[in-house]
Amino acid sequence: MVPEVASGRTARPTGVGRLAPSPTGLLHLGHARTFLVAWWWSRSQGGRVLLRIEDLDGDRASPEFVDAAREDLAWLGLDWDGPPILQSTGVSRMGDVVDRLLRAGLAYPCTCSRADIRNAASAPQVGVTEVRYPGTCRDRFASLEEAERATGRSPGVRLRVPEGRVRFDDAVFGPQSVDVAQEVGDFLIARRNGAPAYQLAVVLDDADQGVTDIVRGADLLPSTARQFLIQEALGLPHPTWAHVPLVLDASGRRLAKREDALSLRELRARGADPRAIVAWAARTAGFTVPERVTAEEVLPVFDRSRLSRAPVTLDARQLAAFCC
């Protein structure tokens, strides 16, 4: 019988949430809705809120977008406790953790490129956006140095994923069960350029910063099982997870940062009323509020248990209403 990968450890309810924009583009209405829900989630219970700028994507991150994110969040009426935290300031500490996982045999060097992994797939995987890693480098190299000497490539590092389903509860979507070993395989925790991968970085930052409540977009729900496994490997507590349904355009596509017409900066420039956006976010989340309301005025009616699971479609009529 395949064992279950689960744990009874949970984070203490200290009530620390976080807003974690990535400065790779302008924030749009989908971000606004998610960040408002995250802020309400913590503030409605008297909790703290941190602002963390997830700037590890050095090729795409820009100081301009850091400033824009702060301005947009403030425009919506959101505040945070303490100064903003740049994720990139903790890179060296993350490297130490990778070394510890390697020494413990919980991770291993990998020199495979994306092309190598695609080519190793036994058959085309229709509709799959991430090809399962086949374990090519598992138990192949004793160290990072050996991997580089043997292949002439700088190695990344993958977490050794145990067999079995990962079970966790999502506060919005309910019980989840994911077979990471079968769906994803051993996944990267450090890239071949030495930078920590997203999955590891967010786990370490959340643990170091005492985050107990992670509220984010539903597109990140598949990442949660991987982050659960990293927490298990490091003996870290598991936070409360709540994934907010995405905002879709009229054609049913999720909003993207490249769509400047829906960016908060563009809406501000057009004279949009932030209270209308706040009201739209609250109503689509399942709460009854006036047509114009501030983020703080929603707090008395916010109820975590009533958050809607349905995706939200944004049409031209609603968009026009923000600017009236």
Residue type, 227: Q
Mutual angle of helices 91-103 and 221-234, in 10-degree steps: 70
- Sign of the torsion angle spanned by Cα atoms 209, 213, 217, 221: positive
pLDDT in tens, 270-324: 999 999 999 999 999 999 999 999 999 999 999 999 998 988 998 888 888 887 6
Mutual angle of helices 274-284 and 29-43, in 10-degree steps: 70
pTM for this one?
0.90
Q: Closest by alpha carbon to 284, among 317, 242, 313?
A: 313
β-bridge mates for residue 110, sequence order: 156
Contacts of 320 (CB under 8 A, 6+ apart): none
Phi, psi of 200 (to 5 degrees): -70, -45
β-bridge mates for residue 320, sequence order: none
Q: What is the pLDDT along the chain (324 residues), one digit of tens a residue?
A: 233 334 434 444 459 999 999 999 999 999 999 999 999 999 999 999 999 999 988 677 888 999 999 999 999 999 999 999 999 988 889 999 999 999 999 999 999 999 999 888 754 444 446 799 999 999 999 999 999 999 999 999 999 999 999 999 999 999 999 999 999 999 999 999 989 999 999 999 999 999 999 999 999 999 999 999 999 999 999 999 999 999 988 777 887 765 555 799 999 999 999 999 999 999 999 999 999 999 999 999 999 999 989 889 988 888 888 876
Tell me if domain 16-89+204-321 and domain 91-199 are identical in fold.
no
User: Is the CATH code 3.40.50.620 the one for domain 16-89+204-321?
Assistant: yes
Q: Domain map of the chain by residue range?
A: 16-89+204-321, 91-199
CATH for 91-199 is: 3.90.800.10
- What is the model's pLDDT at position 6? 41
Instruction: Tell the burial category of 305 from Cβ atoms under 10 Å away from its Cβ (0-12, 13-18, 19+).
Output: exposed
- What is the model's pLDDT at position 60? 79
- What is the model's pLDDT at position 32? 96
- What is the model's pLDDT at position 324? 60
